[in-house]
Every structure is written in C-alpha cells, then in structure tokens.
C-alpha cells in the first residue's frame, strides 16, 4: 500500500514531464509578438456644433418617418469598447496539441486578445504569425449571425471565416444536428433564442478545421449536454494537433486544467506559467494588495471618477474612468494631475479645474475612504 | 517571446501560413481587403434587398410594383399632362430607358451611402473591409435597373403589336449601353466612397443627399431629350458628368443621338477624379469608422 502511494506521484510526474517534452517539441502554430489594440477616444464636436449636438436627441434614437429611410435602422450597439489600450504588448505562442488558459478579471482584455488572434479585429501594433486558421468559439458569435434564417447564417459564418459556400452547404446538416436544431432549418433568426443562436454558432465553429480554437468559458451556456459535447469535440481536435485556448475569468473550469496559463489584466500578461503556479502568484498578489492597504491605481481612478460623477452628474464619467486609469498607469500612482485626468477625459480644461478645485475643498482625503485598516502581520 | 519564435512559425512549411499585421489604411490596402472579403458581397447585396421590403404586407410584391407605379405616375405627368417631346418614339419608351439608367445610379449610391451605417453590428465585430458593403450596393441598383428594363420590354412588346414598330434595338450598338451602365455604377460607388463614412456619423448626410439627387435627376436628360434644351444651355448640360453615361444607355437601346465627345470626356475625367479622391477619403475614414462605429 505504501509502495503504491509512493509510486503514484512518480508516474504522474513522468507523464507530465513526457507531455511537457512533447509540447516543447511540437510546432508553434500561432505566435504573436508585441500585440496591442488601441480603441481611440471618439472626437467630440466643439464650439457651436458641439453645443447643438449636446442639446439634440442622439440621431440613433430618432425614428425616421420616411418609409424609404427608416426600415433598415439598427439599434445602436451596447456601449462598444472603452477608449484606451485594451491589449498592450502581448507576446505569446501556441503549440500544436497544447491547451492554454487566458485568465483574468472582466475588462482585462481577454476577449479582445482572442478576437485579435482570430483576426476578427485588426491589431494596432504587433504581428501574429498563423500556421493555419484560428477559430473563434466566442460568446459574441450570435452577433455575427445577421442573416435571416438558420441555414443562411451557417453560410454567413463560413464566409466570415473565409470558407467557401460549398463547405457550408456540405457541412450544414451536421452542424445543425450537432446544435440540436434539426427541423429548425427554416426558422427565422428572430424566432430563435439567443441560446439557440449560440449553439448554432459554436457548432459551426467546431466544424471548422483550425490550428487553434479560442474558447469562451461560457461555451454551450447552461445546456450541460451540449457543453459536454463541445468540450469532447475540442479534446478530439487537440489530440489531432490543434491548440486549444480557454478564456476564463477564474482559475476554476477547463482553464485550470491547461498546460499553461496566462493571467491577463489591463491588457497585459502579468503572470504566465503552470496553473498551480499562477494560482499561487495570484493569491500572493491579492494578499499583498490587502496587506498594504493602499488602493491600486485603478481604485484611485475609480474613486476619482465617482466623485466626478456625483459632482457634475455627467455620464461621461465612465469614459473618464478609462482615461484616468490610463493616466494613472503612465504617470505613476503618486504623480497624477487630476485636472489633467479630467481634461483628457473630454472635459473642458477650465471646467475640469473647477471640478477638481471643488473636490479638493469638499473632499479632503479623497482616497482615504476605501483604504483598509493596516494588517497586523508585516508585509512579505 | 522573442522574434525568433515568430520566425519559427513563418519559416514552417505551411501553405496556410498567414501574417497578421496592423492594416494599411491606404487606398491600396482598402482594395486588398475588399478582394479578401469578396465572398461577402452577395450577402450584403441580398441584405439590402430584404431590408428594403421589411415590415411590409406585400413583401417581395413591392419589387415589381414600386417601379411600375413610379413609371406610370411620371409618364402620365411628363408625357401626358406636360407633353414633353420625345422625338419619333413614344414618351413611355423614351422615359423608361433613361429612368432605368438613373435608377442604377441613384439606388446604388443610396445603398452605398447607407452601407456602413446599416451593417454596423457586423462591421464592428468583424474586421471586414468597409468597402465590401459599399461595393455590394450595386446589386440592388442593378436589380432596379433590370426591373425598369423589364417594364420597358413589356412596353416594347405592346408597341410592336399595336404600332408594328420596334423601339428597343438590340445589336452591336447596344454594347454602348453596357458602357454607360458601367460608368453609372462606378459613379454610384464614387459617391458611396464619400457618403458611406459620413452617413455613418450623421444622418444629415442622408437628408442632404436626398435633395441633391432629386435635383440632379432633373438636371440630367431623363425626362426630356437634350435636344429640347435651348442651345445656350445644351453646352452646360453636357458638362453634367452623368449626361454622357445616360445618353450612352439611351443611344444603346433607343438609338437616340450619342453623347458628344466633350460630354464623354468631362464624364470620364470627373469619374477618375471622383474615384481616386473617394478611395483616398474612404481609406482615411475607414480606420476611424473601424474603431468607432
């Protein structure tokens, strides 16, 4: 019994070691260097035009009464992207047969990184070498399915990926069956639920032969059976030599079982390594932040913007948050000119200075509120 | 990761090897992306047609019904009430051919103008060339042209049976109509290159364009033959860059007088300038609209 207990870890280590060696020897199928994505701040009209715009209802909210013009309007998209560097200087490589996890908090740039790798959005800087097709199996795929019915949407997704129509026509029955939508081929898009659209999109993507698959954590949604089938299909693809990338917010789930994990925060890879190493590093990092009690740059910026929002009741404050984060990051946490922050967020300079002066008078110790009490144990 | 790793991929003998870099926001870059995404042209074209008759009870019936009603009303007004001259052919035949040519231009330009704004959901999520939906706008324009020509064919058959005369000629000269239509399609694209990025930002562009095209329709010899214009204004009418393509179409189908060389030269030069400037403008605005729409 004791012999068994001592040999088991050795077997695991040997398997892990062999797997690691195999992966190192495997060819790199996707390599990114200095990958960055910037969403620039939208320009705002100034002067008279700006004044008129600020007093008019947003053009997107108006329904045109002309029958020739109104029938195509689409609702404006929800929020879009925050301005600023969403992904910054990411280097990574994906090897054939590997499984990698990209983990990090919401808004950290995970999805944008996946979209960059899949070619759905163009990079602002850097380059990616792809030894084949990178397949996005992402949450937002139903948004791409703008065609009218089930069958046409399969063709549309295929065309977006650069696949010929014949491919979609040939694989369509299998895709629809895998999504559990047999018999729904003629249903219109508007008659389908988001979950059904999601299943159709995921099924289409899993049918594509790619060198890498970028998989969102919510693949399959709440349909456990479908999710299990998807993960099984992905495992088949991995065994056949594809690289699988799981995108998760937490270390739990498939990402925790990956060969390598990348912790992405504020668009940058902060830590990379084995899942257990990452878990330890992140725990230490969070514990360190708690022990020091000092608010992070983001917390400072968020606090500032909350004051800004209260002070002037301005919806631009969300935008200001990102501007503030960017400035805090570039200037260093202790050397931030808050007037500059407000100004760069699109406020008039004199208006910004007035706001900051008012805040300085009325809210002494602006950032002290959120500080936690000093811990009893010394910092590491 | 070092550059060596990137090179390791690029040196791998894979026929599917692709390097993704920040896009070049130049006219050539836009055209390259358009070629890469050409498979989406039928999708966008069909989308314009479907959206056009969305939320109607008659649905696709409106496709032939709309031009029929349009032609009947205008022929009655211009040919009947106002008695506009049309030479030795019925006003109906004269008008409908010119109108078909105009529809190709106007409808294509209209959908091209709305291309980015209408497809913002897709375009904001996939890096598809913004030129793709703009170019696809020629499809509904071409369909409208065919519908009007279908009505013209019905009219030609009627006059053949009633008068024994054939007013539509189909022979080698008809190829000049193809040239005219090609020029009109390019003109629509040229305007679309300017209008699409602007219309995605402000609806004012749509309102303005509507009145511009409405006015331009009467400046172009569609409801009247150019020969009926007073001589001092004929030269001016020839400077209208759309005159030559429309006259080419009418010459091809109706054997009216061909456009003058001055008119043709003005039209070609304007088209080249329009397309070159439009591509330059579109490429500059494409980057901004890619990030913001």
Mean pLDDT of B230-256: 89
- Residue B262, number of CB atoms within 10 A of its CB: 12
Most A CBs within 10 Å: which of B2, B6, B60, B62, as the mutation test of the A interface?
B6
Q: Which strands make up the sheet holding B18-20, listed edge to edge? A: A84-95, A28-39, A125-130, B18-20
**Which range (A280-284, B24-28, B250-254) has the least confidence?**
A280-284
Bridge partners, residue A102, by sequence: A247, A262
pLDDT at A347 over 80: no
Please give the pLDDT value at position A11: 46
pLDDT at A9 over 60: no
CA angle A275, A281, A284 (to 5 degrees): 140
Please give the pLDDT value at position B141: 92
pLDDT at B248 over 90: yes
Q: List the structure tokens of A347.
A: 């406020």
- Cβ burial, residue A270 (10 Å; 0-12/13-18/19+): middle
Q: Which of residues 172-201 of B touch A (CB under 8 A)?
A: none
The CA distances from residue B195 to B132, B164, B188, in Å, are 15, 46, 10
Please give the pLDDT value at position A368: 43
Handedness of CA B90, B91, B96, B98 (dihedral sign): positive
The pLDDT tens digits of the residues spanning A260-269 come to 888 888 888 8
The pLDDT tens digits of the residues spanning A153-205 come to 888 888 888 888 888 888 988 998 888 888 777 777 777 888 888 888 899 99
pLDDT at A46 over 70: no
Mark yes or no for CB contact B19/A127 under 8 Å: yes
Q: List the structure tokens of B284.
A: 């500059």
Q: Which of residues 310-349 of A touch B (CB under 8 A)?
A: none
pLDDT at A218 over 80: no
pLDDT at A57 over 60: no
Average pLDDT, chain B: 85
The CA distances from residue A206 to A212, B18, B279, in Å, are 11, 21, 38
**Regarding predicted confidence, which is higher, B136 or A48?**
B136
- Cα–Cα distance measured from residue A117 to residue B36, given in angstroms and rounded to the nearest whole number: 18
Most confident listed range (A51-60, A334-343, B158-167):
B158-167
| Angle, helix B261-292 to helix B175-199, in steps of 10 degrees | 30
- Cα–Cα distance measured from residue A372 to residue A292, given in angstroms and rounded to the nearest whole number: 9
Mark yes or no for CB contact A121/B127 under 8 Å: yes
Please give the pLDDT value at position A68: 42
pLDDT at A331 over 50: yes
Confidence label for A373 from pLDDT (cuts 50, 70 and 90): very low
Q: A78 — contact with chain B (CB < 8 Å)?
A: no
Instruction: Kindly state the percentage of chain A with pLDDT values over 90.
Output: 2
Mark yes or no for CB contact B36/A162 under 8 Å: yes
The CA distances from residue B248 to B91, B117, B149, in Å, are 18, 33, 15
Residue A79, Ramachandran bin (φ over 0: left; ψ between -120 and 50: alpha; else beta) = left
The CA distances from residue A170 to A145, A163, A164, A165, B16, in Å, are 19, 12, 10, 9, 22
Mark yes or no for CB contact A144/B122 under 8 Å: yes
Mean pLDDT of B222-237: 85
pLDDT at A136 over 80: yes
Chain B nearest C-alpha distance from A117 (Å):
9
Q: Which residues contact B282 (CB under 8 A, 6 or more apart)?
A: B27, B30, B130, B131, B134, B193, B194, B196, B197
- Cα–Cα distance measured from residue A73 to residue A64, given in angstroms and rounded to the nearest whole number: 9
Please give the pLDDT value at position A379: 39
CA angle A294, A300, A302 (to 5 degrees): 135
**Regarding predicted confidence, which is higher, A342 or A135?**
A135
What is the residue whose two structure tokens read 């109104």?
A70
> What single DSSP character describes residue B12?
S
- Count of A-B CB contacts under 8 Å: 129
Q: Which residues contact A76 (CB under 8 A, 6 or more apart)?
A: A58, A60, A61
Please give the pLDDT value at position A372: 38
Mark yes or no for CB contact A159/B52 under 8 Å: no
Q: A53 — contact with chain B (CB < 8 Å)?
A: no
The pLDDT tens digits of the residues spanning B169-217 come to 888 888 899 999 999 999 999 999 999 988 887 788 888 898 999 899 9
Please give the pLDDT value at position B137: 94
CB A377 within 8 A of CB A291: yes
**Regarding predicted confidence, which is higher, A151 or A374?**
A151
The pLDDT tens digits of the residues spanning B255-281 come to 888 898 999 999 999 999 999 999 999
The CA distances from residue A330 to A37, A250, A269, A346, B77, in Å, are 17, 27, 17, 18, 69
Q: List the structure tokens of B173.
A: 């000269």
Please give the pLDDT value at position A54: 63
- Residue B15, number of CB atoms within 10 A of its CB: 6
- Cα–Cα distance measured from residue B289 to residue B293, given in angstroms and rounded to the nearest whole number: 5
Q: Which residues of A touch B15 (CB under 8 A)?
A: none
Mean pLDDT of B16-39: 85
What is the residue whose two structure tokens read 């990761």?
B1
Please give the pLDDT value at position B191: 95
Q: By CA distance, what is B41's nearest residue in A?
A: A159
**Regarding predicted confidence, which is higher, A18 or B232?**
B232
Please give the pLDDT value at position A371: 39
Q: A144 — contact with chain B (CB < 8 Å)?
A: yes
Q: A130 — contact with chain B (CB < 8 Å)?
A: yes
Please give the pLDDT value at position B242: 93
Q: A306 — contact with chain B (CB < 8 Å)?
A: no
- Cα–Cα distance measured from residue B62 to residue B66, given in angstroms and rounded to the nearest whole number: 5
Please give the pLDDT value at position B110: 93
The pLDDT tens digits of the residues spanning A71-121 come to 334 443 444 556 678 888 888 888 888 888 888 877 788 888 998 998 888
Q: With a cut of 0.90, is the ipTM above it?
A: no
User: Residue B61 half-sphere exposure, CB side, CA atoms within 13 Å?
Assistant: 5
């Amino acid at each position: 019994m004791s012999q068994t207990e001592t040999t088991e870890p050795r077997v695991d280590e040997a398997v892990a070691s062999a797997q690691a060696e195999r992966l190192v020897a495997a060819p790199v199928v996707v390599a990114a260097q200095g990958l960055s994505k910037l969403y620039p701040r939208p320009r705002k009209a100034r002067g008279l035009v700006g004044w008129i715009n600020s007093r008019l209802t947003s053009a997107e909210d108006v329904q045109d009464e002309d029958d020739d013009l109104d029938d195509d309007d689409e609702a404006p998209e929800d929020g879009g992207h925050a301005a600023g560097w969403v992904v910054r200087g990411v280097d990574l490589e994906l090897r054939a047969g590997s499984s990698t996890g990209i983990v990090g908090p919401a808004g950290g740039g995970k999805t944008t990184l996946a979209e960059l790798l899949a070619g759905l959005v163009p990079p602002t800087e850097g380059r990616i070498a792809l030894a084949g097709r990178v397949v996005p199996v992402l949450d937002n795929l139903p948004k791409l399915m703008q065609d009218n019915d089930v069958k046409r949407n399969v063709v549309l997704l295929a065309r977006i990926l650069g696949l010929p129509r014949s491919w979609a026509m040939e694989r369509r029955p299998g895709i629809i069956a895998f999504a559990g939508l047999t018999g729904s081929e003629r249903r219109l898009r508007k008659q389908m639920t988001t979950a059904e659209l999601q299943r159709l999109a995921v099924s289409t993507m899993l049918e594509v032969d790619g060198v890498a698959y970028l998989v969102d954590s919510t693949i399959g949604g709440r349909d456990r059976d479908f999710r299990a089938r998807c993960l099984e299909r992905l495992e088949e693809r991995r065994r056949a030599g594809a690289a699988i990338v799981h995108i998760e917010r937490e270390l739990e789930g498939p990402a925790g079982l990956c060969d390598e994990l990348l912790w992405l925060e504020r668009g940058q890879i902060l830590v990379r390594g084995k899942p257990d190493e990452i878990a330890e590093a992140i725990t230490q990092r969070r514990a360190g932040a708690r022990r020091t009690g000092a608010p992070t740059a983001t917390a400072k910026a968020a606090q500032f913007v909350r004051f800004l929002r209260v002070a002037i009741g301005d919806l631009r404050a969300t935008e200001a948050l990102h501007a503030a984060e960017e400035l805090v990051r570039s200037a260093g946490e202790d050397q931030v000119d808050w007037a500059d922050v407000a100004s760069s967020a699109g406020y008039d300079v004199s208006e910004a200075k007035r706001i900051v002066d008012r805040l300085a008078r009325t809210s002494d110790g602006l950032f002290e509120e959120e500080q936690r009490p000093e811990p009893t144990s010394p910092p590491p | 990761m070092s550059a060596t790793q990137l090179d390791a991929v690029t040196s791998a003998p894979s026929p599917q090897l692709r390097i993704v870099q920040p896009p070049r926001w130049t006219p050539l870059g836009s055209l390259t992306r358009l070629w890469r995404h050409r498979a989406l042209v039928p999708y966008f074209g069909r989308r314009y047609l479907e959206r056009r008759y969305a939320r109607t009870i008659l649905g696709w019936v409106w496709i032939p019904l709309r031009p029929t009603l349009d032609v009947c009303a205008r022929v009655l007004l211009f040919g009947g009430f106002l008695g506009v001259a049309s030479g030795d052919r019925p006003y109906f035949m004269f008008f409908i051919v010119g109108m078909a040519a105009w529809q190709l231009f106007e409808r294509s330009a209209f959908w091209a103008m709305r291309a980015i704004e209408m497809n913002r959901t897709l375009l904001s999520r996939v890096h598809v060339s913004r030129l793709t939906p703009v170019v696809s706008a020629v499809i509904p324009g071409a369909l409208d042209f065919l519908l009007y020509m279908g009505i013209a064919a019905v009219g030609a058959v009627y006059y053949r049976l009633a008068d024994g005369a054939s007013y539509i000629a189909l022979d080698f000269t008809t190829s000049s109509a193809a040239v005219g239509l090609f020029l009109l399609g390019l003109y629509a694209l040229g305007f679309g290159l300017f209008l699409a990025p602007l219309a995605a930002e402000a609806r004012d562009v749509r309102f303005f364009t509507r009145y511009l095209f409405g006015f331009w329709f009467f400046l172009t010899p569609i409801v009247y033959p150019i020969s009926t214009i007073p001589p001092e204004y004929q030269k001016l009418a020839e400077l209208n860059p759309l005159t030559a393509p429309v006259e080419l179409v009418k010459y091809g189908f109706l054997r009216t007088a061909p456009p003058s060389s001055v008119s043709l030269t003005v039209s070609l030069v304007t088209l080249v300038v329009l397309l070159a400037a439009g591509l330059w403008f579109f490429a500059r605005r494409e980057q901004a609209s890619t990030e913001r729409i």
